[in-house]
Amino acid sequence: MKSLRTASNHWLQQVKKTVISHRGQQVVNQGLRWHLDYPSLECPPWLNQNGWVVQGWVLLPPSLSKSMEDVRVIACWNSVFELCHPLSLERPDVIETVLGEDPAKHPQLRCGFRFTVPRQLTTCTLELCVNGERIPLPIVSMPELPDSDGAEVAPLKVLEGKANWLFLDNDTNGSVDQYRGRLLLTDEGVKGWQRYLKDFRTLAEKHGADSAVLVAPAKESVMGPRYHPYAEGAGGPIQQLLALPEAQVLVYPVQALMALGDDAFIQTDTHWTQRGAMAASKVLAAALGLDEWAVENTFVDDEYGERSLTGDLGSKLKPERTCRINSLRTFNYHQYRCFDNGLPNFGRLIVLANGKALMPGTCLIFGSSSSYSMFNYVSRLFKRVVFVHSAGNLDPEVVKAVQPEFLVAQTNARFVVQVPRASCSLQALIAEKKACLSEEEIMMVAKRRIDVETHNPIISSLGLSPWIVT
């Protein structure tokens, strides 16, 4: 924000004392006025596909009218992150009714705000931010809806950009707001990441493992400047994370992906392409100390062929949208799976063993969905790869049992608003997942599961027998 040098500390202190009502009681003695249109007990509930609409306006004293662009309305319902929205709507009705002035070219014409918060919320807090000073407003309560009313149809969570590129919309991590620089980590969120990164480094050093935390860049960060319908903001949670002193352990391969152009991400999916996964694997390998020439040479003869893919975004449209992708056709990691419990997402445990890999050691990865497309590459870099689907959450007991030469935590940039834990239980994740499987998921698990005996030589040498459950 630009500095509001014309605002005295005395004025800010007085404003804090006079902003007293979320129902619009106008504060005139210090020149600040504000009103919340929605949600309100006086108006019908406004709930759209994206959630509850929060709308209102703010007027500054005339002497500060040129500083309207510096005002932020902050909404918070989570201790780790918060939404920070500028005054972006023109409100001629406010200028005419409240100020009794001509709205044409009025310096405070753009005094309105409108955004949404998740529909599951019952309350959230609002604050005004002026010159770095935060002015608390009363808690906002969402109205109750009769059973017959309620939300519109469930959101598709797909945003169509230029040239048919699809992006995630209205997800629980606020991907669009992150990209636009309107969702930021709170001080608590930043401190949580600092603790996690310190604990990760300590755990790796305890077991003598070369280590890195790989953060898969969001599709928006790489493809957004060319294809996203919204302009990219000045910063977001990933920029806050990269600015930390503890960020030395982070691997964020955004430049390597940008160098691939349109081959970095899938047009109808949130994930990177296989070439994108290869680029990320190379950057990760370099961070882990592998010889860059040897790594490059490992993949030099790879061949790719075109195929059609619907993707996790294209499948949400009616009719479904497909695109053409380049798929690796000269190598498939599936032949090296020696164990796979087949569980969907969290709790999945996979062991890959390739005696012809570049490095003789074991790489233990606590990863997310972006790790799967890396298997074709990391399985050729490390003799053994142990993968735990935990989105970066660490199980020290698994690390102790495996004793890996290389330790990797992998998460996605859009997940940065969810600080991972440095101590979780894989056994608990497995038990929780198995307890809530649907019949369809049970059939899927049975199809892709690869079982071994608990005394299997590879499993025994990795110390994984306690997690090999049927």
Check residue 19 and give its pLDDT: 41
Measured distance CA(208)–CA(405) in Å, rounded? 7
Domain count for the chain: 2
Q: Where are the alpha helices (DSSP H) in 288-391?
A: 292-298, 311-314, 375-381
What residues make up the domain containing 42?
A: 9-155
- Would you say residue 3 lies in a domain? no
Q: What tokens were used for 164?
A: 């048919």
Residues 188 and 135 reside in one and the same domain: no
Residues 13 and 122 reside in one and the same domain: yes
Residues 125 and 182 reside in one and the same domain: no
Q: Name the CA radius of gyration of the chain, rounded.
A: 26
B/e letters for 406-437, b = 16+ CB within 10 Å, e = fewer, are bbbbbbbbbbbbbbbbbebbbeebbeebeeee
Sorted by sequence, the CB contacts under 8 Å of residue 103 that are 6+ apart come out as: 90, 92, 95, 96, 109
- Domain end call among 100, 122, 155: 155
Residues 451 and 379 reside in one and the same domain: yes
- Would you say residue 459 lies in a domain? yes
Check residue 14 and give its pLDDT: 41
- Domain end call among 116, 136, 155: 155
Residues 213 and 253 reside in one and the same domain: yes
Reference 337, options 374, 392, 385; nearest CA is 385
Residues 44 and 169 reside in one and the same domain: no
Q: Give the chain's residues under pLDDT 70.
A: 1-30, 145-156, 470
Residues 355 and 444 reside in one and the same domain: yes
Element (H, E) at 323: strand 323-328
- Would you say residue 4 lies in a domain? no
Residues 166 and 140 reside in one and the same domain: no
Residues 380 and 436 reside in one and the same domain: yes
Check residue 29 and give its pLDDT: 34
- Domain end call among 116, 138, 155: 155
Check residue 156 and give its pLDDT: 57
Check residue 146 and give its pLDDT: 60
Measured distance CA(221)–CA(284) in Å, rounded? 19
- Would you say residue 2 lies in a domain? no
- Would you say residue 68 lies in a domain? yes
Q: Can you count the helices (H) and strands (E) in the chain?
A: 15, 21
pLDDT digits (tens, 9 = 90+) for 386-396: 999 999 999 99
- Would you say residue 195 lies in a domain? yes
Check residue 145 and give its pLDDT: 66
Q: What is the CATH number of the domain that holds 110?
A: 2.60.40.1930
Check residue 227 and give its pLDDT: 97
Check residue 155 and give its pLDDT: 53
Q: How far apart are the first and last CA of the chain?
A: 56
Residues 373 and 325 reside in one and the same domain: yes
- Would you say residue 1 lies in a domain? no
- Would you say residue 372 lies in a domain? yes
Residues 38 and 69 reside in one and the same domain: yes
Check residue 30 and give its pLDDT: 58
Residues 214 and 317 reside in one and the same domain: yes
